[in-house]
Amino acid sequence: MLGGAATWPFAARAQQSAMPVVGFVNSSSAQAQVAQAAAYRRGLEDSGFVEGKNVQIERRWADGQYSRLPELIADLIKHNAAVLVAGGPPAAQAAKKATSTIPIVFTSGDDPVQAGLVSSINKPGGNVTGVHIFFTEVEPKKLGLLRELVPNAGLIVALVNPNFPAVKSQTQELQAAANALGQRIEIINASTEHDLDAAFASMKQLQAAATLVGSDPFFASRRDQIVSLAARYAIPAIYEQRSFATAGGLMSYGTNLAEAYRQAGVYTGRILKGEKPSELPVLLANKFEFVINLKVAKTLGLTVSPNLLSTADDVIE
Check whether 6 has a pLDDT greater than 50: no
Per the model's pLDDT, the better-predicted residue between 6 and 171 turns out to be 171
185-188: which pairs have CB atoms within 8 A and are 24 or more residues apart?
185/143, 185/155, 185/156, 185/157, 185/158, 186/155, 186/156, 186/157, 186/158, 187/157, 187/158, 187/160, 188/157, 188/158, 188/159, 188/160
Domain ranges within the chain, ordered by starting residue: 2-134+256-288, 136-255+289-316
CATH T-level topology, domain 136-255+289-316: Rossmann fold (3.40.50)
The rounded distance, in Å, linking the Cα atoms of 144 and 150 is 10
- To the nearest whole percent, how much of the chain has pLDDT over 70? 95
State mean pLDDT over 39-67.
Answer: 96
State mean pLDDT over 202-231.
Answer: 95
Ordered strands of the 283-284 beta sheet: 56-61, 21-26, 83-87, 104-108, 128-132, 283-284
Burial class (CB in 10 A: 0-12, 13-18, 19+), 4: exposed
Ordered strands of the 251-255 beta sheet: 184-189, 155-160, 210-213, 237-239, 251-255, 288-293, 314-316
Confidence category of residue 17, pLDDT binned at 50, 70, 90: low
Check whether 21 has a pLDDT greater than 60: yes
State mean pLDDT over 43-72.
Answer: 96
Helical H segments across the chain, by residue range: 2-18, 34-46, 69-78, 89-98, 139-149, 167-181, 193-205, 217-221, 223-232, 242-246, 257-272, 294-299, 306-311
Per the model's pLDDT, the better-predicted residue between 78 and 134 turns out to be 78
State mean pLDDT over 197-215.
Answer: 96
pLDDT at 136: 72
State mean pLDDT over 116-138.
Answer: 91
Please provide the average confidence, as pLDDT, over all residues in the chain.
Answer: 92
State mean pLDDT over 239-255.
Answer: 94
pLDDT at 14: 41
Same fold across 2-134+256-288 and 136-255+289-316: yes
Least confident of 10-24, 179-193, 236-250: 10-24
For strand 83-87 and strand 21-26, is the pairing parallel, antiparallel, or unpaired? parallel
Confidence category of residue 135, pLDDT binned at 50, 70, 90: confident
Domain 2-134+256-288 in CATH: superfamily? Response regulator (3.40.50.2300)
Check whether 18 has a pLDDT greater than 90: no
Check whether 55 has a pLDDT greater than 70: yes
